[in-house]
Amino acid sequence: MNPFHIRAAIGLLQGIALYALYRASDHGGWLSLHPLLFSPLLLAAASLPLLCQTGLGVLRPSRQAAWLAALAVAVAAFGAHDRWRVGLEHAARSDLMPGALAMLGVAMLLFIAWPLILAGESERRWRASYPAYFDTAWKLGLQLMFSGLFVGVFWLILNLGAELFALVGIGGLRRLIGEAEFAIPASTLALSAGLHLSDVRPGIIQGLRSLLLPLLSWLLPLLVLLVGAFLALLPFTGLDSLWKTGHASALLLGASGLLIFLLNTAYQDGSEQPGRVIRLSLRAACLLLAPLQALAAYALTLRVGQYGWSPDRVFAASLVILGACYAAGYGWAALRRQAGLAGVACANIGAAWLSLALLAAVLTPLADPARISVSSQLSRLEAGRVAAERFDFDFLRYRGLRYGHAALLRLKNDPGVDGAVRLKAGDALSEDKPQPKPPAQAVRPRGPVPLPAGFLAQDWKQAAKRTGELPSCLLDGRNECDAYAGDYSGGGKPEVLLAEKLAARLSLFQQNAQGLWTLAATYDLPAACPAPLEALAAGQARAVPPRLPDLDAGGLRLRPRYPYAPQECPVAKK
């Protein structure tokens, strides 16, 4: 049978399966009541057909079926655990979807495992040669990238065609491409076409790789120079300024990851000797990775010693372990002074298998970040390292998932636990307890008018379900907002403007008839322009009439959308 027909059939079946899952979640079918079944099915339907298509022509049908069955069992187990850890028995629609940990973790695990399987099967042995691993991994990555681009252009053409037809009064195509029963199967079919084209025309992938890798490899000397200068300055500047950032571990791990990536773009499969500059940069990069990882491990150890484990720190610890494997292997390869740095290949293969082990541990109860974090925080509370008044009981309820809920029940019902701890645990378990409010420092009142009572006390997470995206300062406090109260629309009622500096945006909030604050409008701010915020702080912002009115046509209120015309920041008067 023609490989294109096989891939098209797989893509169509994948689209039908994904649409069936979408319809079950959207229309409250039987499957929507069983998140422990829905999540594994969704993860499997989204990932395994892609593996099947990329394995055509490489694996024998029987071997491919066996490997896909084994991976399906693993994906199902990870998906079921992801929903089990949330503590769901009967879930609402919003609880059906796999969490970010499961989706990202499964995608990374399959992307690492499948090239190992394909390379081994292509050479008919468990441990393939490093060039086979390298070629297979880069082919898969570039295939997925090319196919994703192909799908994007496919939808660009469809939308362009729909708009052209709409110009002559034919809106059927626009309605068709907006329907899920068309959009989902069409996307999977387009993805299958992209995978097929990149497979039957290997020159596409070879051309992309021969262009991409040499270009990226020339960034390695620059990164080596910067990292080397940073490490050379540390004895003179000390580590205090590094720790004061609060995110030293993330920066150091990010630098290590980029160093590993660029090092491998220069090393490639080890069969070619690069130029002198790249060759010296390779050896230096191998040696620089160890001190970066040591600093990251030390920074993480300090944070864990001060505040205990959190989910983010568990992820960081996994990366530190993986980075240590790379650092040891690369350092050994550089110190042996052999031509070609042959040890880099061994380190990469070992790190790939270690990555699979770490991902499997994080995606199961063995090293579940929530379980480890809850256990760590409880041990700090029981050991008296943190007082009950300062302990974050909300973390146990909202981020500790099933493990945190069980810990709160134990603290509440254990007569041997301090009374204050039992009381706070009971409060955290209370069903009518509101969601945690955003940190006080996340929303900063500004301007001459105080914020209306009840604005910050509102349950903004529930409001987000009704109104859609809200500024993050109201939801989790990740970013800060300046809040200005006043009457900005001229309606004679109190209103609040939130200024998000990172997003360069103003959000206007008004009270509805029920007294709830809702998002009324957003305004884009010119980049790096302080004038609007200065005017708000001085209470000088005012309402102005629109350039064009709204139109009432057929009972619909149509609002004007102006052509894009960026505003320039006004020049300050001297």
Overall domain count for the chain? 4
Q: What is the DSSP string of 93-129?
A: GGGTSPPHHHHHHHHHHHHHHHHHHHHHHHTTSSS--
Sign of CA dihedral 386, 457, 503, 469: positive
Listed in sequence order, the residues at least 6 apart from 536 whose beta carbon sits closer than 8 Å to its beta carbon are 446, 447, 482, 484, 497, 499
Q: Of 109, 123, 135, 130, nearest to 348 (Cα)?
A: 130
Spatial separation of the C-alpha atoms in residues 203 and 206, rounded to whole Å: 5
Residues 259 and 342 in one domain: yes
Residues 147 and 29 in one domain: yes
Q: Of 173, 350, 327, 351, nearest to 253 (Cα)?
A: 327
Q: What is the pLDDT along the chain (574 residues), one digit of tens a residue?
A: 688 899 999 999 999 999 998 888 766 667 777 788 888 999 999 999 999 999 888 888 899 999 999 999 999 999 999 988 887 543 444 467 888 889 999 999 999 999 999 999 888 888 889 899 999 999 999 999 999 999 999 999 999 999 998 888 888 888 888 888 899 999 999 999 999 988 888 788 888 888 888 899 999 999 999 999 999 998 888 877 777 666 788 899 999 999 999 999 999 887 878 888 998 999 999 999 999 999 999 989 988 888 889 898 999 999 999 999 999 999 998 888 766 788 899 999 999 999 999 999 999 999 999 999 999 999 988 888 888 778 888 888 888 888 988 888 888 888 877 778 888 888 888 754 444 444 545 788 887 888 887 888 787 776 666 666 788 788 776 677 888 988 888 778 889 998 886 667 888 888 888 788 888 888 887 766 777 888 888 877 888 888 888 888 887 888 787 765 656 677 655 4
Listed in sequence order, the residues at least 6 apart from 460 whose beta carbon sits closer than 8 Å to its beta carbon are 435, 438, 470, 474, 475
Residues 175 and 224 in one domain: no
Tell me whether residue 556 is in a domain.
Answer: no
Q: Of 221, 285, 278, nearest to 256 (Cα)?
A: 285
Residues 239 and 191 in one domain: no
Residues 306 and 359 in one domain: yes
Residues 172 and 243 in one domain: no
Residues 253 and 363 in one domain: yes
Residues 95 and 183 in one domain: yes
The whole domain housing 355 covers 218-367
Tell me whether residue 279 is in a domain.
Answer: yes
Tell me whether residue 395 is in a domain.
Answer: yes
Residue 531, CA distances (Å) to 118, 134, 185, 504, 537 in order = 59, 53, 49, 13, 10
Residues 47 and 94 in one domain: yes
Residues 271 and 373 in one domain: no
For 536, list phi and psi in degrees, rounded to 5. Answer: -65, -45
Listed in sequence order, the residues at least 6 apart from 107 whose beta carbon sits closer than 8 Å to its beta carbon are 47
Residue 165, CA distances (Å) to 162, 168, 184, 518, 528 in order = 5, 6, 22, 37, 41
* pTM listed for this prediction: 0.72
Spatial separation of the C-alpha atoms in residues 117 and 55, rounded to whole Å: 10
Q: Of 244, 356, 374, nearest to 309 (Cα)?
A: 374
| Helix or strand (DSSP H, E) at 483 | strand 481-486
* Encoded tokens for 228: 């080397």
Residues 102 and 77 in one domain: yes
Residues 358 and 397 in one domain: no
For 538, list phi and psi in degrees, rounded to 5. Answer: -90, 0
Q: What's at 38, amino acid-wise?
A: F
